[in-house]
């Protein structure tokens, strides 16, 4: 029996990559697709939903997954507090694996950035740089915000209280403890993230570069295979893919 997968965002760049991956694996099958214009059939039967779409579509998908108790893997970014709360609510009824980045390398990068921040202390200024393709709607990327949250937590700070997204509107020097974000958009960049640790006389850079969207599809499919047997709750993708270190 093949794993029956509902693909949300099926016409998107990642959605199409997921469809290709499913088609090339005899143990996987597409149970249905959702896009801006089309939603899953009410009576469709499936083992799992994979979503890389847009918050407006994801909101419908979350309610569908919760109502039908179908496990959900989602990578959509820039959700907002209300939709995020709906995801937490859905996770009380069904298994949900949500990650801003389904590449293994980025999941390790987040842990390394946390450890580096703890080890280096507050004399190192932290800046996060990300680069993505010209079509990307949100900035900074979900991954950049995830990295920002990790380094802020490592310092006992809240990201909302120390993030700086735009320096163009104030003429002042950098303050201690700030976490700065910069976003580059252009071409077909699949996704690049660097955390800079900058001190007097030295600089450490932790970087990850995705060169192919298949890494995200591979990660999401791995999560899909793993969560079908899980009971309700939030499943941490990092815990699924990283060996303990
Ligand atoms: N977690 C991770 O590892 C990764 C996450 N992402 C995230 O996944 C999401 C999708 O990325 P990507 O595939 O590049 O995006 P695309 O723009 O290529 O695709 C978006 C998909 O969502 C649908 N959609 C867009 N706008 C709406 C809307 N207003 N209402 C309903 N449906 C809509 C589109 O349908 P239609 O074609 O009908 O417009 C399409 O199927 C983004 O949030 C991105 O940040 C991306 C890569 C990796
Ligand atoms: O939109 C993309 O393409 C990507 N989005 C995710 C994000 O916002 O972090 C993950 C990846 O970098 C690609």
What percentage of the chain has pLDDT greater than the value 70? 100
Tell me the pLDDT tens digit for each residue of 15-41. Answer: 999 999 999 999 999 999 999 999 999
Ligand 2 site residues, Cβ closer than 6 angstroms: 77, 100-101, 132, 136, 141-143, 191
- Could you give the residue numbers annotated as active site? 132, 136
Ligand 1 center–CA 12 separation, angstroms: 5
Tell me the pLDDT tens digit for each residue of 104-114. Answer: 999 999 999 99
Pocket test residue of 13, 17, 73, 100 for ligand 2, highest count of atoms within 8 A of CB: 100
Ligand 2 center–CA 173 separation, angstroms: 30
Mean pLDDT of 60-75: 98
From 80, 65, 82, 81, select the one nearest 31 (Cα to Cα). Answer: 65
Binding residues for NAD(+): 9-14, 75-77, 99-102
From 65, 68, 148, 60, select the one nearest 110 (Cα to Cα). Answer: 148
Asked if residue 140 has a cis previous peptide bond (ω within 30° of 0), the answer is: yes
Question: How many other C-beta atoms can be found within 10 angstroms of the C-beta atom of residue 180?
Answer: 19
pLDDT for position 243 = 87
The CATH homologous superfamily of the domain defined by 104-210: Dihydrodipicolinate Reductase; domain 2 (3.30.360.10)
- Whether the pLDDT of residue 7 is over 80: the answer is yes
- Hey, do 3-98+213-241 and 104-210 end up sharing a CATH topology, with the first three levels equal? no
- Whether the pLDDT of residue 245 is over 70: the answer is no
Mean pLDDT of 80-101: 98
pLDDT for position 206 = 98
Ligand 2 center–CA 133 separation, angstroms: 9
- Whether the pLDDT of residue 144 is over 90: the answer is yes
Beta strand 48-51 with 95-98 is unpaired
pTM > 0.95: yes or no: yes
CATH of domain 3-98+213-241: 3.40.50.720
What's the rounded Cα separation, in Å, for the pair 18 and 29?
11
What's the rounded Cα separation, in Å, for the pair 76 and 46?
20
What percentage of the chain has pLDDT greater than the value 90? 98
Binding residues: 9-14, 37, 75-77, 99-102, 133, 142-143
Which sequence spans correspond to the domains of the chain? 3-98+213-241, 104-210
pLDDT, mean over the chain:
97
Query: What are 21's two structure tokens?
Result: 């991956």
* Position 151 confidence tier, pLDDT thresholds 50, 70, 90: very high
Any idea how long the chain is?
245
- Whether the pLDDT of residue 116 is over 80: the answer is yes
Mean pLDDT of 57-82: 98
Pocket test residue of 101, 110, 130, 133 for ligand 2, highest count of atoms within 8 A of CB: 101
* Position 93 confidence tier, pLDDT thresholds 50, 70, 90: very high
Nearest CA to ligand 1 atom 7: 76
Tell me the pLDDT tens digit for each residue of 195-237. Answer: 999 999 999 999 999 999 999 999 999 999 999 999 999 999 9
Helix extents (H) in 77-213: 81-90, 104-120, 142-154, 159-162
Contact 61, 49 (CB under 8 A): yes
Sign for the CA dihedral angle at 89, 83, 58, 38 comes to positive
Ligand 1 center–CA 135 separation, angstroms: 10
Query: What are 211's two structure tokens?
Result: 């060169």
């Amino acid at each position: 029996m093949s794993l029956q997968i509902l693909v949300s965002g099926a016409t998107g760049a990642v959605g199409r990559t997921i469809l290709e991956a499913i088609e090339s694996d005899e143990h996987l099958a597409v149970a249905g697709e959702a896009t801006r214009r089309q939603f899953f059939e009410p009576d469709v039967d499936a083992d799992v939903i994979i979503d890389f779409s847009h918050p407006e579509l994801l909101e419908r998908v979350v309610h569908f997954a919760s109502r039908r108790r179908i496990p959900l893997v989602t990578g959509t970014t820039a959700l907002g507090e209300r939709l995020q709360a709906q995801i937490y609510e859905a996770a009380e009824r069904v298994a949900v694996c949500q990650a801003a980045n389904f590449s293994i390398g980025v999941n390790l990068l987040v842990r390394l950035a946390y450890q580096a921040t703890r080890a280096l202390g507050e004399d190192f200024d932290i800046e996060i740089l990300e680069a993505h393709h010209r079509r990307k709607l949100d900035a900074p990327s979900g991954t950049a915000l995830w990295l920002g949250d990790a380094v802020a937590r490592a310092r006992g700070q809240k990201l909302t209280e120390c993030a700086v997204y735009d320096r163009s509107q104030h003429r002042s020097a950098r303050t201690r403890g700030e976490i700065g974000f910069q976003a580059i958009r252009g071409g077909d960049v699949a996704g690049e993230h660097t955390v800079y640790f900058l001190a007097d006389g030295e600089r450490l850079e932790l970087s990850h570069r995705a060169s192919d969207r298949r890494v995200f599809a591979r990660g999401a499919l791995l999560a899909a295979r793993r969560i079908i047997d899980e009971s309700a709750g939030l499943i941490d993708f990092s815990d699924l893919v990283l060996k303990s270190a």
